[in-house]
Structure 1
């Protein structure tokens, strides 16, 4: 199967051990933090202020990343 799909065997076995992946888990954790900060501010803060709040709390994140995740989740500031 790996030969047909031209995928290294090591990648296939890595995927078997961790089908979700580290990047997806990291993004899911970030989504949760953004959602918590958004609702803590009662939906008043946009991406610049949420990014600063997350940076103060110890999560290194940029404004553009927060804006992207907010757009994906359908969150908009009031």
Structure 2
């Protein structure tokens, strides 16, 4: 029987949350690194970076959830 919630489908469903979380974390990380003199990223730069980083991060999380669903 085919698994109704495969890794690809889970990744697509969870991607908006993963990309949003990555964008928020990138922005806050840039605020913390400003203490050592690095520039603070703009919200738009953080969103773009979050969209890029969201793909592998969400896929890793979807693999984890898929493994939990198998048990």
Q: TM-score range by the shorter chain?
A: 0.3 to 0.5
Per residue, is there more helix in 1 or in 2? 2
TM-score (norm 2): 0.35
TM-score, with structure 1 as normaliser = 0.33
Quick check: which has more Rg, 1 or 2? 1
Q: Which has the higher contact order (CA 8 A, sep 6+)?
A: 2
